[in-house]
Chain A
């Protein structure tokens, strides 16, 4: 079994699976059980400043989106940072870290945007022996209205400023957790880097309303007939999170900045994908909240098996391997011509590919006598919709037309060499590029 040992910013953990700052890491009891179950590290539930703790609502705080069989696809919450006294959290962190020296313990912090506030809390966090801190600039509800959380994360200048204060008053690694509730993730990432951040972690939750009660017209979760936008997470947000991770990984200004990937990690495969896009560790919240701490065991065994199969002996061997393949649309090879192929043996004849293509796309699937579904190469643009709607995995595949063959749709011979939009005759800018 491949070794999953991870070294992120000099912080070692037996595997790259960390619990994200959230209810699973809100107290000693949870974190001890998480470590016993096998989690490599935790980011402790976000601490606030000294004084009376924040309060949470006393009604429901989660909403959800379900797939078939009520599989939880997306979770939304209106919970705030920890509602337990700072003192107690710090004592617990110190005890847990002392008992689990081989696990990563990161402390998430969110205090007002004043240097004094950070200066006050950081030495106390340092005393716990925790391995580093994560700055929560992400929480999209409640805290942002008080000038914290995503209110800071949406202003790159604030990120840079607060990060710098932390680097000044704390000497272990500083991770800046980014909010996805912005238009271009590269700006806050650059700001974090400029402020001296050792790493960024992303994404925090996405502002969302999961549903509306059609009896009383309240958004859900409903508190006495009213609802508030919450933060969305879980499998549904993974594609958004991975794009943001990739943008940072390939941005010339932030390239090489360590990243801890968060958002919808549920299986070993999700973790491997985030890591291939440049993440040194991944953080998990919803999967643990849905299935309990034991899910990490599948993540670890699955990742390890895949590494064995690929011959990777350490996680560093594949971290970032997908980053060079993330490019801009304009550079995609227009001479790569594919056609959908239906495996008649695997096909169960549901006709969904046909409905999708016939009703909404290119009329490129024939429905023949006896419910035989076949692709008409003369119409197929290789859009992949049929592949995506087919209920049988790998029943429809995309196959490349070999160079030299004629594409029956365009009548043109497929060319061997690469050619993209940058040089395409229809591109008004193409000539300028010459």
Chain B
């Protein structure tokens, strides 16, 4: 018997397996061929297409949609993969409402863009279902490159370098490749173990070795890598988590949202995963929304996202906010945590209302208490474990042009590098571009 939403405390098995399976099903289900045909027919084949300009990986969107239209989804997939080897994952996780689809002229015309993301999924699924890899490796160049971190930036960089004939070793701190594709993305965006399947498919290019449990700063050093390889690409993401700076942060039940999500993503059996009855998520980005929605889907009774600024300033897009609201998550704006109360374990959270006069955020003094047996911190990740000697910009590794760091022979991209949005698709673009620059230098 399921425990139900009302069971007190942090417990597993609030919902039945059937309910959980339904809750964590695909957010945007795959198109059937007829749906794809109808959706593809809506594309105008724009000149210098604005959707393409809005795609961080610069996919030739009008061309791939036309290829779907003419009955060649595999060719469409190839068009996609030429620019974005993780086009399958991006089709599932890109916030298209703020990227390609926002720029689609049919959004301007009718408020209904061509569904580029789902068409991209249709094409890439079709090709990947066949198990074939669309590219072949160039003749080996004899050059070797170390990639640190097997997230989207690292995988994209490694694939492009391998395709060009270089030998790549990816050093990954975790026991499994994929980065946040595997450990971070909401479960209903990448169902059926897609992240791992995609890595296997990508590795078919050949020339890439992944060494897991190989952590920069622990088992390896940048100097060591620079000596052993012709070039180094750093794509270590943001492994640190920002602190809440509220009293009682150390109580049981207060945890990092990314940790919760990682556990959820790795769980074989969601009914074994504990979740609170009253969950409060602190933060306003995609991570906060994902933690909140997935808590709700696991069966929490009350889930609140508490964000310190206004709705307009929230990092999560309007689409994400509406998604959360539709699942029954309550969104609170202009509140900041003051203290977590409870005797050893969290019971309540105290929030203070804020106002932002002239750009600076101030507490108003008025507070409110919410029942909270589980508090998720989602107030941003930060760079951790970056090697010494690399110039930083803000709190990230400074890069110029296609990912060049301040140290010769070392490139960086993805979330750990300066510039760009922290998105899967941006990481893919940066990995690819750094690979092209590395290739140019190695071939010079």
Contact = CB atoms under 8 A, between A and B. Distances in A.
A182 interface: no
B428 to A, nearest CB: 26
A351 B46 contact: yes
A330 to B, nearest CB: 36
Kindly state the interface size class of chain B when it binds its partner.
10 to 19
A350 B44 contact: yes
Contact of B47 (A348, A352, A391, A392): A352
Nearest to B45: A352
Interface in B1-60: 37-38, 41-42, 44-50
A354 interface: yes
B253 to A, nearest CB: 51
Highest count of chain A CB atoms <10 Å: which of B38, B47, B106: B47
Interface string B73-102: 000000000000000000000000000000
B41 A352 contact: no
A348 B112 CA distance: 13
Given A349-B50, A349-B105, A350-B105, A391 B44 contact: yes
A349 B108 contact: yes
Interface string B417-439: 00000000000000000000000
Contacts of B41: 68-69
Highest count of chain A CB atoms <10 Å: which of B37, B41, B42, B106: B41
B61 to A, nearest CB: 13
Given A68-B41, A69-B38, A69-B41, A392 B109 contact: yes
Contacts of A392: 109
Interface in A211-228: none
A69 B44 CA distance: 13
Contacts of A68: 41-42
A392 B44 CA distance: 11
A73 interface: no
B50 A371 contact: yes
A351 B44 CA distance: 9
A355 B48 CA distance: 9
Nearest to A373: B47
Highest count of chain B CB atoms <10 Å: which of A351, A354, A391, A392: A351
A389 to B, nearest CB: 9
Nearest to A371: B50
Contacts of B49: 351
Contacts of B38: 69
B131 to A, nearest CB: 24
A367 interface: yes
B47 A354 contact: yes
Contacts of B108: 348-349
B140 to A, nearest CB: 40
A391 B50 contact: no
Nearest to B109: A348
A391 B105 CA distance: 10
Closest 8 pairs between A and B when the two form their complex, measured CB to CB: A351-B47, A355-B47, A68-B41, A348-B105, A350-B46, A348-B109, A350-B105, A348-B108
5 contacts: A69-B41, A349-B105, A367-B47, A371-B50, A391-B109
Given A348-B106, A350-B44, A371-B48, 19 more contacts: A68-B41, A68-B42, A69-B41, A70-B37, A348-B105, A348-B108, A349-B50, A349-B105, A349-B108, A350-B46, A350-B47, A350-B105, A351-B48, A352-B45, A352-B47, A355-B47, A367-B47, A391-B44, A392-B109
Interface of B: 37-38, 41-42, 44-50, 105-106, 108-109
Interface of A: 68-70, 348-352, 354-355, 367, 371, 391-392
